[in-house]
Amino acid sequence: MRRTIGVREIEDIALGAAVLGTGGGGDPYIGRLMAVQAIEDFGPVELVSLEEVDDDDWSVAIAMMGAPTVMVEKIPGGKEAEHAFRSIESFLGRPIRYLYSIEAGGINSTIPIALAAQLRMPMIDLDGMGRAFPEIQMVTHTLFGITATPFTMADEKGNSAVLSTVDNRWMETFARSIAVNMGATAHIAAYAASGRQQKEAAVRGTMTLAETIGRTIREARAAHVDVVARLCAVTQGQVIFQGKVVDVQRRTVAGFARGEAILEGIGVDAGSQMSIEFQNENLIARRDGNVKVSVPDLISMVEEETGEPITTEGLRYGFRVNVIGMPSHPHWRTPAGLAVVGPRYFGYDVDFVPVEA
């Protein structure tokens, strides 16, 4: 189904993407501003479903990478995404028909919309995560042998890089260094893929899912009905804790925002405590010391009353939140998927247990 993304859709996508961002993925506020501005300047963006894409048509992902704590301080100049795109285009030496979001959780849901409007290119309704993850190789494309190479980067000063690596984990190492050198954030273009490859590897419909989540929150607020319950219904999620933020530790290390939040239970959870550790995104939630939900499943905190998603950099003492656990895409729950984004990859010596179990 072809449809267009206008200003209303961007607002909903950005809100829903913040839920799928699981605390990270970058503040959607900046990406939303950029996308809205681009659509006002150049008109709406066409969004096509993966079924409509020819097997031989190529698409590339456009994104920002870096520490979300820095992104909120350092607003893009506007030319970086195009610079990264032109580099990958010339390096690939073949026509690129579509742009896509590699990470529809967080800011990277809307960053490609802004460039798609500017270049008048359609987007495909998919992403490579179904959420947000902190590292370059953490995309379902990796599980199907799709390479991040060529990987282009650009900053607001005019610097750029084209990287080519023997695997996607090496790309994370190289690109992270350059992103740090670029001032902790950079625009990238990568993961060029044919329609055939996308049909095998991608997480389908994530842009629509983000929009549905955002619209659901907006409509539930307007109707004064239980926002969190509606949110759980559209994400197959469940409330795993109701609490108040009593401590947040945060530090920016090697280009990542790392830290931990401590919640004290309220209501049905009074007397219990939840700890949530994050590396850009929320990674593991423990209730009274026992793992309740872990990567690759999604852990999102939302404001109790409004369902407003809270990023790790927005966490403050005293916030009353509901913690929602949501199932990840089936690709991530395979042994190959868990090797890339399971709890052990992040240094936690626990087995993955699906949130619904």
Binding footprint of a second copy on the chain (CB under 8 A): 157-166, 170, 173-174, 177-178, 180-181
| Cβ distance to a second copy smaller for residue 2 or 157 | 157
- Closest distance between a second copy and the C-beta of residue 147, in Å? 12
| Cβ distance to a second copy smaller for residue 125 or 156 | 156
- Closest distance between a second copy and the C-beta of residue 146, in Å? 17
Q: Which token pair is 181? A: 């050198």
- Do 292 and 286 form a contact (C-beta atoms < 8 A)? yes
CA dist., res. 19 & res. 222, Å (int): 19
| Cβ distance to a second copy smaller for residue 120 or 157 | 157
What residues contact residue 187 under an 8 Å CB cut-off, 6+ apart?
62, 63, 64, 76, 80, 81, 83, 84, 111, 153, 154, 155
- Closest distance between a second copy and the C-beta of residue 150, in Å? 9
- Closest distance between a second copy and the C-beta of residue 159, in Å? 5
* DSSP three-state, residue 187: strand
Q: Which residue has the tokens 């179904």?
A: 130
| Cβ distance to a second copy smaller for residue 181 or 272 | 181
Query: Residue 63 is inside which H or E element, if any?
Result: strand 58-66
- Closest distance between a second copy and the C-beta of residue 165, in Å? 5
CA nearest neighbour of 296 among 275, 282, 311, 312: 282
CA dist., res. 309 & res. 278, Å (int): 15
Q: Which residue(s) pair with 262 in the sheet?
A: 247, 275
CA dist., res. 329 & res. 205, Å (int): 11
- Closest distance between a second copy and the C-beta of residue 217, in Å? 41
- Closest distance between a second copy and the C-beta of residue 180, in Å? 7
Q: Which residue(s) pair with 123 in the sheet?
A: 47, 99
CA dist., res. 38 & res. 72, Å (int): 19
Q: Which token pair is 80? A: 């970086």
| Cβ distance to a second copy smaller for residue 91 or 348 | 91
- Do 285 and 198 form a contact (C-beta atoms < 8 A)? no
| Cβ distance to a second copy smaller for residue 159 or 273 | 159
Helices (H), 283-357: 335-341
| Cβ distance to a second copy smaller for residue 4 or 164 | 164
